[in-house]
Amino acid sequence: MSSTYDIVIVGGGTSGLVLANRLSENPNLQVIVLESGVDLKDDQTTLTPGAWPLLSNSPADWSFRATPQENVTRQIAIPQGKALGGSSAINSFLFSPTSRATVEGWKNLGNEGWDYTVYEEAMKKSFTLHKPSGATEGTGPLQLTLATPETPWEKAWIDGLESVGFPQTDPLSGHLGGPIIAPESIDPSTKQRSYSANAYLEPVRSSRPNLTIRTETTVTRVLLERPSSADDAVAKGVQFISKDGPQTIGVRKEVIISAGAINSPRILELSGIGGAALLQSLGIKVVVNNPHVGENLQNHLFTGLVFEAYDDVHTLDAFFRQQPDVVDTASKDYKAKKRDPLCTSNMITMAQLPLPDLHTEDGHKDLDQLLGSLDPASDASRSPPTTPAFAAAHQAFIRSLLTNPSEAVGNYVFGAAYTPFDKPEDPTYRAPGKYVSIAIELSHPLSRGSVHINSTTPEDAGTNQGLIINPRYLSHPLDLEVLARQVRFTEDIISRAKPLTARLKPYTKRFTDLEATKDYVRQTADGAYHYTGTCSMMPRAMGGVVDNRLRVYGCSNLRVCDASIVPLAPTANPQAVVYPVAELGARFIKEDIL
């Protein structure tokens, strides 16, 4: 292994391997990727779509935990991929692009060059979509499978929502507002997971001598020098720990941190980039004083409802209860015929919908009352050191979506099986009988949390220790109001959607009272695995950590390129956001250094 490289990529996850592929296209660039986890290319649990739930709390998961939440009862687990491919190696496959309005919202924070047309081009460069007709769209490395609504439940979901005024929409259009069958990152020819490791890395790994991959190698800090107090810091290399002990490598051009929304701010702080008070309290020399590092953590909070189905309809309950005969049949079918339920995530029946409750005159009054009592200064004080400018911009963005009947503000995932939403004490519980479940997700949270280090021990950097992760769920009162109204909205939809109700046992509405619904949300809500924002892309004065070309403020040759740069949460699962972010990041780097 060389002691110096042109490009050092910290993290071989979803984004890191996109960068590795695109940057090593130039044979004159010596590129190295340093990844804490292992290579799972032959691991059948990773490759088998229906086995994805088994990957949480496995060696491929960092298994982070949030601090106890003041407004949410449940203990919050934070799975993050620890392997080549990162979270794309353990996620649930859904490729659900965010809305045009969201991307334009990023641009409007001051990020020139992030127009939706540019973003969409980068997204389509990342994938090849295989349509039910046999046609394909795109020529990118990631393989996507798009199904038609074939099962009775899929058809009932689509037809049911159409019957109450929400026609099916194109999941890749950027215009969301109805039911969809979501594309999955599954290769239709093999029925196996397609992710950044086997899509972006494996096809070039053996043919590019200028690309080096090191696994089980944890970066503990970036080595920074500052010629004078007036100059930007310069990355000279990185320090890391491997099975051979502590080592250092140098860099000639750039260091790119692609360690994810939890680990990227950790590496910056360990390197001396962060809030001066925190760094000094831990004995870290302050290289760049930026208290916004690790702030603006955003995630989708969700709860859900369960409805009992008639006994003569088919559901996946027996499979999820792991009844031996059903599991054995599924395994044999997958090996022989590549058939459900192991060849899919079983979560593709979705909808991204507006919230009509807030489009009425009374709804506008409620929203005005809620937001009118919260000026940007008070909102900023709710999550220091958020700036008043960003608090105002964030609030204005959310308000624009909530009041627009054409914009989706909630994400809904339908599944034909029981989900223990109201049993946080036993998430493994599966009720006898047959059910359908609807996960109800707050797409655009106003609550913001943080990720900060509380240890400088190098060995902690490769574990889930040494960090305080506080999402601060429901710290903004509008989030509770909107999510509770989404619960009532969902119950109302189901009660009126005859294609669905024809297959469900009679159901008495539980959530006629809004305050009681809010209590249900507090008791049952959980965090999705969609963390963003901790190294946000926006002007430094507004609270940014990186600029519009992903360069870390105060550093001349250090960038962050992953989900942490996304300043406003996407509408749903972030996989379809991280790939275009990485494609754009690779383009910026090529333009800037070559």
Gyration radius of the chain over CA positions:
23
State pLDDT tens for residues 57-116.
Answer: 999 999 999 999 999 999 999 999 999 999 999 999 999 999 999 999 999 999 999 999
Q: Which of 545, 14, 544 is nearest to 268 (CA)?
A: 545
pLDDT of residue 379: 58
Give the DSSP letter of residue 172. Answer: T
3-class SS at 285? coil
What is the H or E stretch that residue 32 is in?
A: strand 31-34
CA distances from 460 to 259, 282, 467 (A): 15, 14, 9
Give backbone dihedrals phi and psi of 40, rounded to 5 degrees, phi first: -105, 25
Listed residue (582, 576, 581, 572) closest to 184, CA to CA: 576
Mean pLDDT of 378-390: 72
| Burial category of 339 from C-beta neighbours within 10 Å (exposed 0-12, middle 13-18, buried 19 and up) | middle
Q: Both tokens of residue 501? A: 């109700």
Tell me how far apart the alpha carbons of residues 113 and 564 are, in angstroms, rounded to a whole number.
18
* Range 1-141+192-300+455-462+525-594: architecture per CATH: 3-Layer(bba) Sandwich (3.50)
pLDDT 10s digits, 394-407: 999 999 999 999 99
What is the tens place of the pLDDT at every residue in 321-345?
A: 999 988 888 888 787 766 678 889 9
Q: Helix/strand/coil (H, E, C) string of 306-345?
A: EEEECCCCCCCHHHHCCCHHHHHHHHHHHHHHCCCCCCCC
Per-residue pLDDT band at 588 (split at 50, 70, 90): very high
pLDDT at 337: 61
385 versus 367: which is more confidently predicted? 367
pLDDT-derived band of residue 367, with 50, 70 and 90 as boundaries?
Answer: confident
Q: Of 404, 430, 406, which is closest to residue 417 (Cα–Cα)? A: 430
pLDDT tens, residue by residue, 424-462: 777 788 899 999 999 999 999 999 999 999 999 999 999
Percent of the chain with pLDDT strictly greater than 90: 85
| pLDDT number for residue 362 | 84
Query: pTM for the full model?
Result: 0.96
Which has the closest alpha carbon to 578: 213, 88, 30? 88
Q: How far, rounded to the nearest angstrom, does the alpha carbon of residue 579 sit from its chain's CA centroid?
A: 11
- Facing residues of 414 across strands? 349, 438
**Is the pLDDT score of 381 beyond 60?**
no
Q: Are the C-beta atoms of 157 and 179 separated by less than 8 Å?
A: yes
Residue 48: pLDDT band with limits 50, 70, 90: very high
Residues across the chain: 594
| Number of Cα atoms under 13 Å in the Cβ half of residue 185 | 34
